[in-house]
Structure 1
Amino acid sequence: MTTQRTMPASAAGGGTASASPNEGDYRWVLLAEHCRRTGETSQMVHTRRKRGIWLDGKHTKLASKKRLYVNVEEYNRWVENQKH
């Protein structure tokens, strides 16, 4: 079973780290970081949430102070399963 640990925002850029110490990537990233990495807009993410395409707790997570995180692993699965 994999658990997650939270790193201080100053050390992690505001995300939750994967439990594996060898992994350099994060499972959850702030919406702004997701947008920077993928080129998507925040509006695209919010629209998927509103339409029920992305589920809170699976694809996204709303944390304290209403900060929205995106699950990188679930985003990648979602992209891979899109029909071309």
Structure 2
Amino acid sequence: MGFDQQGTLVICVSPGLHGRWDVSEKGQDVPLASFDEKEDAYAYATQLTKSRRDATVLVEDEEGFSPLLAEDHGSTRRPRN
């Protein structure tokens, strides 16, 4: 699994090929899933982390990666625009 140095599961949502959105574990080259809509990718990523209190979802945009805000965890809203 994609863990950081503290043992936290890290799931990343980032732009993929052909306008799709990929969900992958941190440090892995092959995505776990790919979606046409970014909201679907966010929903899938947060679902993967629901059973882990120490899990984090990172969302990539033109400024780099940022964490999905705690109050948004489990929703499909972006942390910032």
Per the normalisation by structure 2, the TM-score is 0.26
Give the structure with higher Rg (CA). Answer: 1
**Higher fraction of strand:** 2
**Higher fraction of helix:** 1
Per the normalisation by structure 1, the TM-score is 0.26
